[in-house]
Amino acid sequence: LAVKVGRAAAEVLGGEHRPLVLIGKDTRISSDMLECALIAGLTAAGADVLRLGVVPTPAVAYLSVLHNADAGIVISASHNPFEHNGIKIFNGSGYKLSDELEAAIEEHVLSDEEPKNTSFDKLGRIICVQTEPVEEYIEHLAMAAEGGNHNVRILVDCANGAASAVAPKLFKRLNMNADFINCEPDGVNINNECGSTHMDQLKEKVVSGGYDLGIAFDGDADRCLAVDEKGNEVDGDKIMAACAQYERERGMLNQNAIVATVMSNMGMHVYCRENGLKLVCTDVGDRHVLEKMLECGYCIGGEQSGHIIFTRFATTGDGELAALRLLKALDEKKCTLSE
């Protein structure tokens, strides 16, 4: 199936030229196997491939734009257990594929017709670049951090997933006082009683360790939840509200609006109403959130689950970016996360 998806993606997204496709993956034991199968399909159909290794999902979206790729592919099942896996595709602009393109790829995959043969001189290659793509993504996040927050002690739960390859380097790059847990992936421990879907361990360690706050990512690091110094969970709604209030005070919140979904807590509606913020709700799903943001020019949106989009910096939800923007707001407000 992965070979077929690779061939179909190259044929649908490539057009008349030799396409370039970036591939990233999370830490699941099956990700290497699926990566090789995808590369076989892509190169058989004449696409060149740049392997990114273990990186967060939003890194693939960002790097696809940076390297002028035709597509970016992520091998991940996000917050699900290790025995699951999946294939996600971004277009060359860093956005998830349209329904029409997804349908075209699906039609190729399910077709009984033999795939078109590519002549040997037109087979794709695995290419190398002089720069280190992960470092390029870290530099991008460091820019978005706008200096970060050096006044707090942070505990970061990497969910034994893709954040393990980026978060320690990122927080070191920013000289932040951060410790890390669940940062030793072995292929089967991703999301296993850790990360943003299993917060108990982080809550206990934040309180017992005297940390100012905790940050939890999911397996592919496109989601972020937080824990305050008292051990209370801070969900995506609260993170969005805090960041939006901070951005509004700086005059940076377009139309004073937040885009959320119909699943957002009623407290979010009350908070926005009492603080002069406009809350726009869409159907469930980050795709619907992003569509509304792009349609109306809004700059902060997301879901209660911690999938938060900052269109000033990214084309998709980014857990590490959300954490950095929250830390920046805390630094400016000079208050605790519980406050």
Tokens of 321: 């970016």
Instruction: Name the nearest CA neighbour of 225 among 290, 307, 288.
Output: 307
Check if the beta carbon of residue 133 is closer than 8 Å to that of residue 315.
no
Identified catalytic residue from 78, 164, 196, 264: 78
- Helix-helix angle 319-333:133-145, to 10 degrees: 30
Instruction: Give the C-alpha separation, 218 to 221, whole Å.
Output: 5
Instruction: Give the C-alpha separation, 62 to 22, whole Å.
Output: 11
Q: For the chain, how far is it from start to end, CA to CA, in angstroms?
A: 50
Tokens of 97: 């594929």
Q: Is 78 in the active site?
A: yes
DSSP string, 151-212: SSEEEEE-TTSGGGGTHHHHHHHTT-EEEEES----SS-TTSS-GGG--HHHHHHHHHTT-S
Check if the beta carbon of residue 75 is closer than 8 Å to that of residue 21.
no
Annotated catalytic residues are 78
